[in-house]
Amino acid sequence: MNIELMNWTAVVVGTIAAFGLGMIWFSPKMFGKSWAEGSHNIQPPASPPFTAMIIQFVGLAILALVVGITATGEALFTAIGAIMAVALIVAGMDLFGQKSGKATVIDAGYIVASGALMILAQGVL
């Protein structure tokens, strides 16, 4: 791994793109209603959940960093493996928390789609 060769622009763009995707992904016009119903009918908070948003952003940044590190070593399958591992861990946690299968697929699908955006950013930028 050669950190000097990492594409930092792609890491930043991948993080921001994945965070933006989350806003769309979980919106009522996309999967938000189905996700809420399958997540014990969770209701939107009165104010933005800033702590959750910060934690989500940091997690996405770390995943984008992992993708960036694997890109320097041309280890795409390692990045895909990490993304799939995170998606499966999220799915397992969702099912343990008794979310519906639909909500679980929505959560895990977001991880996979976010990872795909991060890999795309590495390939394009």
| Residue 2 reports pLDDT greater than 80 | no
Q: What percent of the chain has pLDDT over 70?
A: 98
Domain residue ranges of the chain, discontinuous segments joined by +: 3-124
| Residue 1 reports pLDDT greater than 80 | no
Q: What is the pLDDT of residue 112?
A: 98
Q: What digits encode the pLDDT tens for the residues 3-21?
A: 788 999 999 999 999 999 9
What average pLDDT does range 42-66 have in this prediction? 92
CA 17 to chain centre: 10
Q: What is the pLDDT of residue 47?
A: 86
Tokens of 45: 């908070």
Please give the Cα distance from 94 to 108 (Å, whole number): 9
DSSP state letters, 56-119: HHHHHHHHHHHHHHHHHTT-HHHHHHHHHHHHHHHHHHHHHTT--HHHHHHHHHHHHHHHHHHH
